[in-house]
Amino acid sequence: GQNIDQPTEMTATEGAIVQINCTYQTSGFNGLFWYQQHAGEAPTFLSYNVLDGLEEKGRFSSFLSRSKGYSYLLLKELQMKDSASYLCAVRDSNYQLIWGAGTKLIIKP
């Protein structure tokens, strides 16, 4: 079967750096997405990786290794507003999106 694994919950301190990992086993690969979802709000798109390597967008970066079935989302200079759930999703060979259950990130002062 197809599977996306990510930690259920993580805690980090304001101003620090946190890395949220995502491992996947899917039938084929056509891109990996990260979305951010604040409580009670819509998930919003953060990043898309289809080739190996690091994509940087301001304080957020996303890394992909297709050979290892692995990605991470790196958040730097954490702010309280970064408290949210982070969803990893992989598009498989049929262009279906397979979702992880999300990682709830708690930022403490």
Partner 1 sequence: ETGVTQTPRHLVMGMTNKKSLKCEQHLGHNAMYWYKQSAKKPLELMFVYNFKEQTENNSVPSRFSPECPNSSHLFLHLHTLQPEDSALYLCASSQESSSGANVLTFGAGSRLTVL
| Footprint of partner 1 (CB under 8 A) | 4, 8, 31, 33, 35, 40-45, 48, 50, 87, 89, 91, 95-102
With beta carbons less than 8 A apart as the criterion, state whether 52 and 32 touch: no
For residue 90, what is the DSSP state? Answer: E
Contacts of 47 (CB under 8 A, 6+ apart): 33, 34, 55, 57, 60, 62, 73
Identify which of residues 42 and 109 has a Cβ nearer to partner 1 in the complex.
Answer: 42
Identify which of residues 43 and 69 has a Cβ nearer to partner 1 in the complex.
Answer: 43
CB of 35 to partner 1, least distance (A): 8
For residue 51, what is the DSSP state? Answer: S
CB of 109 to partner 1, least distance (A): 26
Identify which of residues 75 and 89 has a Cβ nearer to partner 1 in the complex.
Answer: 89
